Amino acid sequence: MRPFNDSVMYFAVVDRFCNGNPSNDAGFNNDSFDGTHTDWFKYWGGDLHGVISKLDYLKELGCSSVWLTPLFDQADGLVDVEGRGMASYHGYWAKDFKRLDEHLSGSKDDVRVFASKNTVVDRLVKSMHDKDMRLVLDIVCNHSSPAQRPDRGGLPTKGELYDDGKLLTSYDDDKLGWYHRNGGVSDWNNKGQVEASELAGLADFNESHIGYRNYIKDAMRLWLDKGVDALRVDTVKHMPLWFWQEFVSDMFFHRPGLFIFGEWFQGGCYDGQSVEFANKSGMGMLDFALQRGLEGCLARGEEQGFELVDNVFGMDSLFDDCRHLVTFLDNHDMPRFMSAGASPARVDMGLAFILTCRGTPCIYYGTEQYLHDDTNGGVDPYNRPMMEKWETDTPAFRIVKKLAAVRRENKAVQSGSHRKKYLTPDVYAYTRVYRGSCCLAAFNRGADTSIDLETVEMPDGVYKDVLSDRAVTVKDGRIKGLRLERDSSFVLSYCGPMREKAGLEISFLLNGYCTPFGERVKVTGNCPELGNWDLEKAFPLEYINENMWLGQLPLKESAGKAIAYKFIIDKGEGGVLYENRPAHVRFLPAKGLIEQQHHWS
């Protein structure tokens, strides 16, 4: 899996982003739409035409990938939610995974999205790819829809499932055996219940049935063939690990290098089961642990401050590849950052933080405009207001734009190690370092202060703060008297010499060996780029954390050929330790970027 860590992702709830085609607002059921935008449980009109119309805005913001809520055809009408009707405007109650929901389309032909190559989805994909942007599709494999209100002249229905318009089964008449029938979850500490019982009354798929698995995987392959570039997977903790391993393997087989990340709600480094999922499922994961640390520090003003955040980075070695974590300040399932207590200046700090730390940063729609509604504390659905403006001169917009450019250009921000330089509850400074490139980020949530920094991994010289153009001097690895105002961020970026480009590049990643100080991990092999087994010419990897060594190598002579290689530990005067196994053998493509991840043997 190729990481997306050179990208800044933008996450939009499609119905609440932009109404580009008012003719589709009512869909097939006018009762489910509210044009006044006062009934928070109904459709408000956003659609794919609106997304297309705002791509230039997102491109200027610096976002090169866009995650959209599910596009699948949704259950019509309203369902009962605490005694009132709610529409499936959010996209998570699919009834047909092979059709586009009519509220997002431009015509009846668009709904049958795979029957034509000129649908609104095709136009969206082409527009994005023409702008060098990538589409991330939100998918749901765990469940279909809850029971509907009897507003269609018949009995309430639950879990109706279609295959391009053909009824396959439903929860109430499940002749195919595609649904679990275990009731709701009563014990959230019972893993079996969480995986095989219903979440909030949603009809829960029976993943052990091969017919269902074939249907859902076939549907997702069709969306990938439409040009979808990555997948965000909903509710991954509610299905067993074996299912995800099979699903991910089949998706990779269909689209090698596909980026997939999952939502294990409130998962992260403090949840052992979610760590196991991240390491064994084959997909990345939303980093809820870092979100909670940033919220506690910057939005809620907790006493530990930046120590909450540093504690999370201190556990990065639990993950085989922390680059596959997707970082964020808030999303559609929690109060927005400002509703949690953050001022606009603290939102700016939070954005600067996720844009300079490890992982792939994701910005929830409207954050760059300080969009929020604090009704009922900003919980769902009040965390999903309608996007109101698209200004390009807010401080948050400018911060994202500037730091997105740094992220694209600086390999240290994309893939480097995290090195703490200064920490108090109010002040945090770190560098990201990779192969001669470095990014320094410093943050202050307290009173105006000045700090001294040591061992800054940049050549001597004068550098300008990316966010303010303020100049500082690095001499002998030191910055003296760095002034940090209250609620401010400071970023320096240094890119080392550019290496020669090649048609094929390979990333070697090694887990499972904790190197004492002074030892180096290298790759040796039977090709010129790896030294033809000459250890003096072996390719050195870069230390990322105690569980991760990484290096990206251009291959010219070996492109399109088979290579054999092994990892070695260079112990200096202590000699060399070889991986205890036969050499790895790989048949390489002629071009592209591939990643080879291994555990030490």
Residue pLDDT, tens place only, 259-273: 999 999 999 999 999
pLDDT tops 70 at residue 151? no
242 phi/psi in degrees, rounded to 5 = -60, -35
pLDDT recorded at residue 542: 97
**Strand pairing partners for 9?**
65, 362
Domain 504-599, classified CATH 3.10.20.90, yes or no: no
Share of the chain above pLDDT 90, in %: 92
pLDDT band at 85 (very low <50, low <70, confident <90, very high): confident
Q: What are 398-443's pLDDT values in tens digits?
A: 999 999 999 999 999 999 999 999 999 999 999 999 999 999 999 9
Length of the chain equals: 601
Gyration radius from the chain CA atoms: 25
pLDDT band at 386 (very low <50, low <70, confident <90, very high): very high
What average pLDDT does the chain have?
96
Average pLDDT over residues 291-314: 98
* Angle ∠(573,577,579) on CA atoms, nearest 5: 160
Q: What are 124-133's pLDDT values in tens digits?
A: 999 999 999 9
Q: Return the higher-pLDDT residue of 573 and 290.
A: 290
pLDDT recorded at residue 82: 67
pLDDT recorded at residue 598: 97
Among the listed ranges 9-18, 99-108, 144-153, 179-188, which one has the minimum average pLDDT value? 144-153
pLDDT recorded at residue 415: 96
Q: What are 161-171's pLDDT values in tens digits?
A: 999 999 999 99
- Rounded-to-integer distance, Cα 334 and Cα 377, Å: 10
Sequence ranges of the domains in the chain: 504-599
Strands (E), 445-495: 449-453, 461-464, 471-474, 479-484, 488-494
pLDDT band at 155 (very low <50, low <70, confident <90, very high): low
Q: What are 460-477's pLDDT values in tens digits?
A: 999 999 999 899 999 999
pLDDT tops 90 at residue 255? yes
* Angle ∠(36,37,42) on CA atoms, nearest 5: 110
pLDDT tops 70 at residue 154? no
pTM score, whole prediction: 0.97
pLDDT recorded at residue 28: 87
Average pLDDT over residues 380-402: 98
**DSSP character string of 115-142:** S-SSSHHHHHHHHHHHTT-EEEEEE--S
pLDDT recorded at residue 83: 72
Task: Annotate 297-319 with b (16+ C-beta within 10 A) or e (fewer).
Answer: bbbeeeeebbbbbbebbeebbbb
- Residue 46, token pair as written in the block: 């956003």
Instruction: Please name the residue ranges forming H helices in 329-479.
Output: 344-356, 395-409, 411-415
- Rounded-to-integer distance, Cα 204 and Cα 191, Å: 15
pLDDT recorded at residue 1: 80
Average pLDDT over residues 207-219: 98
CB atoms within 10 A of CB 175: 8
Share of the chain above pLDDT 70, in %: 99
pLDDT tops 60 at residue 153? no
- Residue 313, token pair as written in the block: 């980075």
pLDDT tops 90 at residue 149? no
Residue 291: closest CA among 269, 272, 273 = 269
Average pLDDT over residues 384-400: 98
Q: What are 500-542's pLDDT values in tens digits?
A: 778 999 999 999 999 998 999 999 999 999 999 999 999 999 9
